Chain A
Amino acid sequence: MKFTEEHEWLLVEGDTVTVGITEHAAEQLGDIVFVELPEAGTEVSKDEEIVVIESVKAASDILAPLDGEIIEINDTLTDAPGRINEDPQGEAWFFKMKPADMSELDSFMSEAEYKSFIS
């Protein structure tokens, strides 16, 4: 698993990357009450705001970690946004994408690097 400075995790399987937010991010955001996901098939650019999440406290954006195409979204989150607090690094993934350039993944942090990043 790879990690971004925006507190996303990226799970690489073949040419597909599954993206969610880290436990640390979910804890900082607090109880999540609303999620708006992009549509499958959307072409996105790196750092584009593609997911909106709102906690009891505030709204935040999740950025596309890479250029590419959204191929699947986890629409179970829309009706049960609280699942993001329960299992942010497992069941509550946000979307799957096909990156335009898989080599860009090399620039992200390992789990050990992310742990020291947030400490």
Chain B
Amino acid sequence: MSDLAVTPLYDLHLELGAKMVPFAGYSMPVQYPLGVMKEHLHCRADAGLFDVSHMGQVWVDGPDWDAVALGFERLVPQNVLGLADGRQRYGFFTNDAGGIEDDLMFARRGERLFVVVNAACKAEDIARMIQALGPSLTVTPVEDRALIAVQGPAAEAVLAAQVPDISTMKFMDVRNCTVDGVELWISRSGYTGEDGFEISIPEAEAERVCRALLEDPRVQPIGLGARDSLRLEAGLCLYGHDIDAGTSPVDAQLTWAIQAVRKTGGARAGGFPGAAAILDQLAHGSDRKRVGLLPQGRAPMREAVPLFDSETATDPVGIVTSGGFGPTVQAPVAMGYVPTNLSAPDTELWGEVRGKRLPVRVASLPFVPANFKR
């Protein structure tokens, strides 16, 4: 356990009675005394507070925005240049085969780019950015700030009591707010399908800010367990599970995140790793797709459950990449990959659980409608 890193909120987690587990090299709260199910339901009903300080926060700087944006576009298939100041986008680093190396959020802050990457990938991501963008652009990991998320229908009201003016923010807006001399970097986004905010806080102030938020009776701390079931119901990918170096954005049904300007015929078409493969798949389709899956019984179908096109078929046609019980759906839910010709909603498949073939139906994502403030 001594090899694990801790976040600036570690002591607070212990005080709140969290059960701590190793995750991406950090000791992180998997649940609090409320438990995964109630934490999940509380977040959908009121507001949840998450510690996501293990994620990587990185600045990319250069002579001006055009240089920064065009540099970053060499790594991602997104329209970075066209991002308005104070706006954020979802994106992903691709590899030469057209697979996904990590998914991320990036935001324009004046002439600078602010990037948030997954904890498990951050060392590689930073190395990738330095190698591809240096020396003309500067890549600076932020080592002295915590990152928290406040998510749920009451998130706006809860945060507005601490940080005036955030009510005017829309989904994917980013803004700096100074409260009692402390600069907060706030984005209106998250990983739950609910309205909410992610807030970067100087590490020395993080515990105080969280305590103030937790004083509001609408707020409960939420661990990684409920974070996973919330994002699964929202149909959001978990890197290393639903997407990885061997899945393309087309396989993963993430083509909505590739803007027209980077596609064939666009002003800046291609120019990212794996562009040939990805643009070809965008034109001609891929042979498999990420889909939602609804097990028809009560048994959850978890990651690695093989999928078959009949009760007796010998060879699997697909695989579950994330699965569990959906507390809001009140039934098991899953995501996985199936052949494109078996990907239509309501297609009947079979998942093998403990040696038994159980019926499962392809379903559209998300399982729970998003509640963003557009």
Q: Do A and B actually bind?
A: yes
Interface residues of A (CB under 8 A from B): 30-31, 33-34, 36, 52, 54, 56-57, 59, 78, 81
- A34 touching B35 in the complex, CB below 8 Å, given contacts A54-B325, A56-B325: no
Bound Cα distance from A33 to B354, whole angstroms? 16
Instruction: Please list the residues of chain B having a beta carbon within 8 angstroms of any beta carbon in chain A.
Output: 30-31, 35-38, 225, 229, 298-300, 302, 324-325, 327, 332, 354
Which chain A residues lie closer than 8 Å to B332 at the CB level?
Answer: 33-34
A46 to B327, CA, bound (A): 35
Question: What's the least CB distance linking B311 to chain A, in Å?
Answer: 18
Q: Judging by beta carbons under 8 Å apart, are B298 and A33 in contact?
A: yes
The contact of B229 among A36, A56, A81, by CB within 8 Å, is: A56
When distances are taken between beta carbons in the complex, the residues of chain A under 8 Å from B324 are 56
Contact residues in A for B298 (Cβ distance below 8 Å)? 33-34, 78, 81
Q: How far is the CA of A17 from the CA of B225 in the complex (A)?
A: 36
- How far apart are A69's CB and chain B's nearest CB, in angstroms? 23
Taking a contact as CB atoms under 8 Å apart, the answer to whether A54 and B300 are in contact is yes
Please report the C-alpha to C-alpha distance between residue A60 and residue B325 in the assembled complex, in whole angstroms: 15
Question: How far is the CB of B82 from the nearest CB of chain A, in Å?
Answer: 41
How many whole Å from B226's CB to the nearest CB in chain A? 8
Contact B36 A52 (CB under 8 A): no
25 A-B interface contacts by CB (under 8 A) = A30-B31, A30-B36, A30-B37, A31-B35, A31-B36, A31-B38, A33-B37, A33-B298, A33-B325, A33-B332, A34-B300, A34-B325, A36-B299, A54-B299, A54-B300, A54-B325, A56-B36, A56-B37, A56-B229, A56-B324, A56-B327, A57-B30, A59-B354, A78-B298, A81-B298
Q: How far is the CB of A29 from chain B (nearest CB, A)?
A: 10
Task: Name the B residues within 8 Å of A56 (CB-CB).
Answer: 36-37, 225, 229, 324-325, 327
Chain B, interface SS category: mixed
Residues of B close to A59: CB separation below 8 A:
300, 302, 354
Known A-B contacts A30-B36, A52-B354; A57 and B225 likewise in contact (beta carbons under 8 Å): yes
Contact partners of A33 in chain B: CB under 8 A: 37, 298, 300, 325, 332
Complex formed: what's the CA distance from A97 to B361 in Å? 37
A67 to chain B, nearest CB (A): 23
Q: What's the nearest-Cβ distance from chain A to residue B304, in Å?
A: 12
Identify which of A30, A54, A56 gathers the most chain B CB atoms within 10 Å of its CB. A56
Chain A: CB-nearest residue to B302: A59
Which B residues are CB-close (under 8 A) to A81? 298
Measured CB to CB, the closest approach of chain B to A118, in angstroms, equals: 16
New A-B pairs, 7, CB < 8 Å, besides A31-B325, A81-B298: A30-B225, A33-B325, A36-B299, A54-B299, A54-B325, A57-B30, A57-B225
Closest to A85 in B: B35
A54–B302 Cα gap in the complex (Å)?
11
Cβ–Cβ < 8 Å partners of A31 in chain B: 35-38, 325, 327
Task: Give the distance in Å from the alpha carbon of A54 to the alpha carbon of B334 in the complex.
Answer: 15
> What chain A residues lie within 8 Å of B30 (beta carbons)?
57
Chain A residue with minimal CB distance to B229?
A56
A50 CB, nearest partner CB in chain B, Å: 12
Residue on B nearest A49 in the bound complex, by CB:
B354
Give B212 Cβ to nearest chain A Cβ, in Å. 29
Shortest A74–chain B CB gap in Å is 15
Given contacts A56-B229, A56-B324, contact A34 B299 (CB under 8 A): yes
Q: How far is the CA of A9 from the CA of B37 in the complex (A)?
A: 25
Q: In angstroms, how far is the closest chain A Cβ from the Cβ of B201? A: 29
- Shortest CB distance B238–A (Å): 15
Give B31's nearest chain A residue, CB to CB. A30
